[in-house]
């Protein structure tokens, strides 16, 4: 986009000039600091066309380039408008290669992690999936693009309500969101072909293992704060087998009283 290019050029010139002209740096900070960039997104500076170009780049540079090959996942990541799930003042960064704050000390995961976890679930169109940690609702939307039914649980009522609103506005009808403690799963709709957990408990939750269908997979970060492993748990003939994929850093899974699981 022209505006961004002009900005980069200006920045390059300033970097060169700064030692001689500190006042120019002050002007630069006043007008072009990240707050200004964030506001650009609000001020119609960024069109839907710009967002969809960012999304296409995100999929090719962050997702396909890092080895995600499942065509259903790629298609969903190309389709779902991530910028509709992030707070307005972060929209400029919606397709950037990192997590973003969504309020209440929570984050929307990095796009690559969303794609990787979804691929690890190996979903089919006919599958029913449980998600723990609705957050912004973005991961739920990706799942809803791929499979038959999505059930998502969020412990913070305000986040659950906001996510429900966004998902409804975008027209998703094959998903249910509820406020509650996801550690316990959602017995009413169990068993699930896939379970994806986007907050980290220190131990594998027993109820979720039970609610996994025969042949199903659970993708879950497990471990202490800042030191977790992404685990894939598979159920075959009633027996669970566990594979560690990569080290990850998720927000902790919380109990209703706010303590960490």
What residues are labeled active site?
109
Q: Within positions 209 to 248, which residues make up the interface with ligand SAH, using CB under 6 A?
A: none
Question: Across the strands, what pairs with 223?
Answer: 228
- CA–CA–CA angle 208, 134, 51 (5° rounding): 140
Q: Within positions 45 to 84, which residues make up the interface with ligand SAH, using CB under 6 A?
A: none
Structural element, H or E, at residue 131: strand 128-132
Structural element, H or E, at residue 16: helix 2-17
Q: Within positions 137 to 196, which residues make up the interface with ligand SAH, using CB under 6 A?
A: 138-139, 153-156, 159, 181-183
Residue of 10, 175, 198, 185 whose CA lies nearest to 106? 198
Query: Which is nearer to ligand SAH, 108 or 233 (by Cβ)?
Result: 108
**Any contact of residue 95 with ligand SAH (CB under 6 A)?**
no
Mark the segment that binds ligand SAH (CB under 6 A) among 2-10, 42-50, 101-109, 206-214: 101-109
The one among 133, 185, 194, 216 contacting ligand SAH by CB under 6 A: 133
Spatial distance between the Cα atoms of 103 and 135, rounded to a whole number of angstroms: 9
Residue of 92, 90, 85, 38 whose CA lies nearest to 198? 85
The one among 54, 62, 118, 198 contacting ligand SAH by CB under 6 A: 198
In angstroms, give the least distance from the CB of 196 to ligand SAH.
8
Query: Which is nearer to ligand SAH, 21 or 174 (by Cβ)?
Result: 174
Residue 190 in tokens: 């169990």
- Burial group, residue 232, by CB count within 10 angstroms (0-12, 13-18, 19+): middle
Query: Which is nearer to ligand SAH, 133 or 194 (by Cβ)?
Result: 133
> How many binding residues for ligand SAH (CB under 6 A)?
23
- What SS3 string covers 39-77? HHHHCCCCCHHHHHHHHHHHHHHHHHCCCCCCHHHHHHH
Query: Which is nearer to ligand SAH, 113 or 233 (by Cβ)?
Result: 113
Query: Which is nearer to ligand SAH, 47 or 210 (by Cβ)?
Result: 210
Mark the segment that binds ligand SAH (CB under 6 A) among 26-34, 52-60, 131-139, 231-239: 131-139
Interface contacts to ligand SAH, rule CB under 6 A: 106-109, 132-133, 135-136, 138-139, 153-156, 159, 181-183, 198-199, 251, 253-254
């Amino acid at each position: 986009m022209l505006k961004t290019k002009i900005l980069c050029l200006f920045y390059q010139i300033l970097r060169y000039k700064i030692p001689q002209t500190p006042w120019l740096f002050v002007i630069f900070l006043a007008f072009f600091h990240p707050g200004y960039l964030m506001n650009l997104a609000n001020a119609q500076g960024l069109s839907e066309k710009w967002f969809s170009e960012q999304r296409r780049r995100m999929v090719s540079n962050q997702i396909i380039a890092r080895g995600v090959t499942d065509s259903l996942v790629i298609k969903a990541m190309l389709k779902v408008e991530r910028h509709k799930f992030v707070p307005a003042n972060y929209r400029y960064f919606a397709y950037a290669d990192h997590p973003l704050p969504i309020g209440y000390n929570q984050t929307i995961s990095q796009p690559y992690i969303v794609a990787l976890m979804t691929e690890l679930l190996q979903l089919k169109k006919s599958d029913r999936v449980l998600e723990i940690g609705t957050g912004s609702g973005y991961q739920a939307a990706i799942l809803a693009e791929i499979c038959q039914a999505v059930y998502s649980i969020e412990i913070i009522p305000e986040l659950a309500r906001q996510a429900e609103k966004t998902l409804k506005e975008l027209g998703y009808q094959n998903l249910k969101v509820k406020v509650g403690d996801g550690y316990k799963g959602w017995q009413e709709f169990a068993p699930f072909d896939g379970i994806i957990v986007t907050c980290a408990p220190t131990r594998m939750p027993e109820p979720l293992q039970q609610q996994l269908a025969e042949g199903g997979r659970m993708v879950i970060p497990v471990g202490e704060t800042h030191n977790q492993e992404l685990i894939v748990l598979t159920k075959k003939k009633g027996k669970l087998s566990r594979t560690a994929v990569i080290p990850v850093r998720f927000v902790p899974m919380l109990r209703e009283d706010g303590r960490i699981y």
